[in-house]
Structure 1
Amino acid sequence: MAWQRSVAALGVAVALPLTGVTTAGTAVAALPAGSPAAVNGQLKVCGVQLCNKNGKAIQLRGMSTHGIQWFNGCNKSQWWDALTNDWKADIVRVAMYIAAKDGGYETNPRKFTDLMHSYIEEATRRGLYVLVDWHQLDPGDPNVYTAKAKTFFKEIAARHKDKTNIIYDIANEPNGVSWSKIKSYAEQLIPVIRAEDPDSLIISGTNGWSTFGHSDKQDPSVVLNNKVNATNFMYSFHFYAKDHRDDYVSVLDRVSSKVPVFVTEFGTQEATGDGPNDFAMTQKFIDLMKRKKISWANWNFSDDKRSGAVFQQGTCSGTSFSGTGKLKPAGVWVRDIVRSADQW
C-alpha cells in the first residue's frame, strides 16, 4: 500500500490568508451555515455506523492531502475553494508523515504541529470535517512513536477540543506488527486525547496496512475478537483497487458489519499510488460503501506525478483547481463520485 511510495520534495509552504490559530479557551467561530460540519455537528458512533449529532447514520466523502512535508505548496485558498465548492467534499484528511527519513514530524515537531493547526483552522472556516492523520508508516509498529504521538495529540486535542469537526487518526498503516501491539498502542493514546477532548471521534489503523490483517493473510477475527476498549472509536480500512480485488471487498463487507469502519484512504490504482486505474473494481467498493454508509477519503488531492494524485503536475504552482481541466483521469472520476454522492 502506501508503504511503497516515495516522492521527491516539491516546493515550499505557500502562505494562506489565515487568521491566527486559536488557543485553548478561545471561542470557536461558527461553522458556515449549510456546510457539512454545521449540518451534521459532533459525530458519534451508533452501533457500527457513523452518526451525526441527531443520531442519523451518515456517510462522509472527501479527499486526503499528500504528505504535507512534500506538497504544502498545494495549500492555498483556491485549492481549498475547489475542495469545498467544486468537489463539494465533506472531509479533508491531512496526511502528516512521521519518520525523519520522509522529512516528517520527527524533523521538526513544532513546525509540523503548527502546520497541522493551520490546516484544522482552514477546514473549520470552510465547514469541513478534518481528519488529523498521524501518518506512521515505516517503521510499521506505531509503538515506536508512542511518546511523540502523546505529545502531538495532547496539544492538538487541547487546542481544538471545542470544535465539532475534528477527527483523530492515531495510526495510519500499521504493518509488520501484531494486532495486539497495535491495540496496546491505541489504548495508551486514546486516554491522552480523551483527557482533553472527551467527545470527538478517534480512529486507528489495523494490522496489514489497515486491512484487518488481510494483506498479511490473517483472518479479521484477530481484530474482531479483540476489540479496542474505547468509545466513539472506529477502525480504518485501506484499499487500492488495481491490486486489491474482490476478496478485499468481502473483507470490508464482513468487518463493517461487526465494527464501525472508516475507509481513511483508498485509490483507484496500484498500491503504490501509481500505475493504471481500475475504475470498475473501485466502483464495487464505492457501491458497498454507499450501501453501508461507510465514510471515505481518496488518495490524494495533490499534483504528484503518480496517477493517484488527482491534479496534473505543476497545478499547485498556479491558482486554477476547479473544474476538470487540470485533472488526471483518476481526478475526473473521483470528483464525479464525490459531487454526485447522496446528501448525508
Structure 2
Amino acid sequence: MRYIRFFVFTLLAFCLTACSAQAQTPVQKHGDLRISGKHVIDKNGAVTSLAGPSFFWSNTGWGQDRFYTRGAVETFAKDWRAGIVRVAVGAQNDGSILKDRRGNLKRAQTVIEAAIDNGLYVIVDWHSHQAENDVKEAQAFFTHIAKRYGHNPNIIYEIYNEPLDTTDWKWVIKPYAEVMIKTIRQVDPDNLIIVGTQSWATEVDKAADDPIRGQKNILYALHFYAATHKEFVREKAEYAIKKGLPLIISEWGSVTYSGDGYIDIESSIEWMKFAKKHGLTHLNWAVSDKDETASMLKPGASSHGGWQEKDLTVSGRLAREIMRNW
C-alpha cells in the first residue's frame, strides 16, 4: 500500500509539473526578447519565432475597429494559440489617430492590455505609408505607449508600417527611424523596435546595405502577400539575412498585395517554410470581415471572438491552422 501511495503521489506531482509547463503563456515562456546577431532570442538564449494575427486599421468609422476587443484577443490566445498580436493604429486618412486620437487610443489600449493579460506579445504599429509627414504626432504616441506599457516585456514598437516605393531608405526612412528610436529609448531602453523598409517593406536589402548603427534590439520589417511576392522578394530577404540583418514578418497575406484577389496557398506554404528556416516571427493580415479575401472572418462575425469554423474565411482557416501548429 505504501508503494501504491508513493506511485500515486509521484504521478500526481509529474502531472502537475507537466500541466504547469503546458499552461505557460508565450511571455512566461520566453520573457524579455532581444536581438542577437540576426535572430530574436528569448530569456534563455533560444531563437524565438512566434505566429499571430494583425488587426486591421483601427480608424474610426472604417468598420473593422469593432474587432479591437478583449474577446478577440482571448480567442487568438486560447483557441488559435497565437503568441503575438499586432495593433495597427491607423495614422493616416479619415478616422485615424490624427483625426480621432481618443477613439483610436482607447481601442489600441484595449487590445494591448488584453494581450498583456493573456501573456501575448503585442506589436504597437504606427500604421502609415507616409509617417515622415507626422513625426511629432508619432513621437507623442510612442512616448505615451512607452510610459504606460514599456515596463512590460510584451511590448514591441513598430514605428512605420509600409513606406512607399518612392520613399527613400537612406534619406527619409532611416533618419525618421533614428528620431523615433531615440524618442522611445528615452523611456524604454530595452524592448524591441521594428523599423519599416522601402517599397511596402519588401526591399530589406537596402536596409541591409545601410543599417542603423549604435542601437540595440532593432529589427526590420519584411512584408509579403503570397500571390504577388514570391522568390524575388525572398532573394532580397536572404541577402539581408546573410548580411546579418534581423527581420520580422510583421504583416503577410495569402492573397495579392491589394489585400484581395486569389488565395495562393502554395506560395503561402513556401513563405512559411522560409520563416521556419530562418526563425522569423510572422503576423497574418487581417482581423477583419471586410469584403476582401485577406479578411479572416466572414461578414457579420462577432466582434468579441469565440468564432467557429463557419465564421472563418479560407484565409482565416489557413491562418488559424498555421498559428495553432507553429
Q: TM-score range by the shorter chain?
A: 0.7 to 0.9
Scaled by the length of structure 1, the TM-score of the pair is 0.83
Structure 2 counterpart of 1:211: 202
User: Which shifted more, 240-249 or 32-41?
Assistant: 32-41
> In the aligned structure 2, how far is the partner of 1:136 from the partner of 1:279?
28
State how 1:112-151 maps to structure 2 within 5 Å. Answer: 112-137=104-129, 140=130, 142-151=131-140
Structure 1 310/58 Cα, relative in aligned 2: closer, same or farther at 3 Å? same
What secondary structure, in the 3-state scheme, does the structure 1 residue paired with 2:249 have?
strand
* C-alpha distance after superposition, 1:152-175 (max 9, x if no partner): 111110111210100000000011
CA contact 1:303–1:316 (8 Å) conserved in 2: no
Cα distance in structure 2, aligned partners of 1:320 and 1:294: 27
Does residue 94 of structure 1 match 2:84? no
Count how many residue pairs are aligned between Structure 1 and Structure 2. 298
Q: 1:193 pairs with 184, 198, 211, which one?
A: 184
Match of 1:12 in 2: none
Q: 1:43-80 CA distances to partner (integer Å, 9 max, x unpaired)?
A: 10011001111211110110000112231212334322
Question: Aligned partners of 1:276 and 1:123: how far apart in 2?
Answer: 31
CA distance in 1, matches of 2:293, 2:255: 7
Identity over aligned pairs, percent:
31
Q: CA deviation at 1:103?
A: 1.6
Instruction: Find the partner of 1:333 among 318, 323, 326.
Output: 318
Which region of structure 1 is more displaced relative to structure 2, 301-310 or 40-49? 301-310
Report the CA distance shift for 1:111/1:48 in structure 2 as closer, same or farther (over 3 A).
same
Amino acid in the other structure paired with 1:59:
S
**Aligned partner (choices 3, 19, 26) of residue 36 of structure 1:** 26
One-letter amino acid of the structure 1 residue matched with residue 292 of structure 2: R
Mapped to 2, the partners of 1:161 and 1:238 lie a distance apart of 25
Which residue in 2 is equivalent to 1:296? Answer: 282
In 1, Cα distance between the equivalents of 2:114 and 2:305? 19
Instruction: Classify the secondary structure of the residue corresponding to 2:35.
Output: strand
- Give the AA of the match of 1:148: E
Q: Which residue of 1 aligns with 2:223?
A: 238
Q: Deviations over 1:201-233 (max 9, x none)?
A: 0001101111126xxxxxx2x322211122100
Give the counterpart letter for 1:79 in structure 2.
A
Are 1:275 and 2:268 an aligned pair?
Answer: no
* Distance apart, 1:247 and its partner CA: 1.0
Greater per-residue helix proportion: 2
Runs of 4+ in 1 over 4 A off after TM superposition: none
The equivalent of 2:76 in structure 1 is: 83
One-letter amino acid matched to 1:205: G
Q: Which structure 2 segments of 5+ residues have no match?
A: 1-21
**AA matched with 2:184:** I
